[in-house]
Amino acid sequence: MSAATANSIACSARTRSRSIDRARSRSIARALTKLDPPASDLEGFDKEIRFEWIGHTAAFDARTGEAEVLPSYVVPPAFAEWGVELTDWQSQCSTAVSGRALYAKDARFVPVVGCEADASTVYDKEVDLISVDSMAIEEGCYSAHYVDSKGHETVTHCVTTAPGTTEPRMRVRAKHRADGLGTVRIWREALDDEFTDGGVLASSCGGNSAVAKFAEGARDAFDVARRVDPSYDIPSDAVALPAGIWFRVVVNEDGSYDSALGYAHEESKQHLVSARARAGADESSVDVSFHRSRTA
């Protein structure tokens, strides 16, 4: 476990803001006994996340951060003629609390050439129903461990900008298998509309420019994070992505893991981090934490 993660986990859930290098930094940690949030917390959390979120998603190699190229059979021929490979899917996520679970329905759209506002075609959908027993939540952010629809143990993170700090409100999500196999999937999304469970699909124009395609950009996350949150030490084995996003996935032979997602948003001077680590092959010993800083 990194020093930054360990220090964040050691903080009390009531840690107060403090001034460091002209920045206000706040870390909030919850131990395993404080997972499974009470109904009162879930009500507030639902108000933070119950929306349609639109943006783009891409899959990245867990060690190198290289983006996975979309399969050729879904890419319009024009891109091949231009010698262009696509790495981003346009996406939409319907998110809400349903009973004692987080409901998230993800849709990916078939790529199009140009902007065809009425031409959105769903390529596939994926639905997660994540029990709150394994969840930690904080101001629209969360992390959880669950078994996905394919039967894989999965770790997920979501970090969301504070209300009123970005327009629209933005968030970044990550998913990866708990055993470390496969890719790390990343979503960068903007709040688009009230929750409709996907009843209204985003246009193929891709919605707000704040969440345009990102996977092909410069991998600037560490530089951005240093500018907006100089006091935070990103682990040396973390992987930098474009758009201020970084992640860390370390999985050991005994089944333990150390997982983190970070998002440095330069325009609003925010740095958001969700970290989750377990000590063995099951979830009986788990440390979770959230870090949120904003430069004054």
Q: What does the pLDDT read at residue 2? A: 42
Answer yes or no: is pLDDT of 117 > 90: no
**Residue that has been written with the tokens 């065809």 in this structure:** 116
Q: What does the pLDDT read at residue 35? A: 77
- Which strand (E) or helix (H) includes residue 227? helix 221-228
pTM score, whole prediction: 0.88
Q: What does the pLDDT read at residue 207? A: 60
Q: Which residue has the higher pLDDT, 30 or 234?
A: 234
- Residue 211 pLDDT class (50, 70, 90 cuts): confident
Q: For 259-276, write each residue's pLDDT tens digit.
A: 999 999 999 999 999 999
For the chain, percent of residues with pLDDT exceeding 70: 84
Terminal alpha carbon distance of the chain: 29
Cα separation values, 257 from 212, 238, 276, Å: 31, 14, 8
Once rounded to an integer, what is the mean pLDDT over residues 51-60? 97
- Residue 80 pLDDT class (50, 70, 90 cuts): confident
Answer yes or no: is pLDDT of 14 > 50: no
Answer yes or no: is pLDDT of 226 > 70: yes
Residue 106 CB: number of other CB atoms within 10 A? 23
**Residue that has been written with the tokens 């027993």 in this structure:** 133
- Residue 18 pLDDT class (50, 70, 90 cuts): very low
Cβ atoms of 279 and 127 within 8 Å: the answer is: no
**Lowest-confidence pick of 63-72, 268-277, 284-293:** 284-293
Cα separation values, 59 from 65, 147, 196, Å: 9, 19, 26
Q: Please, is 291 exposed, middle or buried when counting C-beta atoms within 10 Å of its C-beta (0-12, 13-18, 19+)?
A: buried
Q: For 177-204, write each residue's pLDDT tens digit.
A: 999 999 999 999 999 999 999 998 887 6
Q: What does the pLDDT read at residue 238? A: 99
Cβ atoms of 121 and 109 within 8 Å: the answer is: yes
Answer yes or no: is pLDDT of 135 > 50: yes
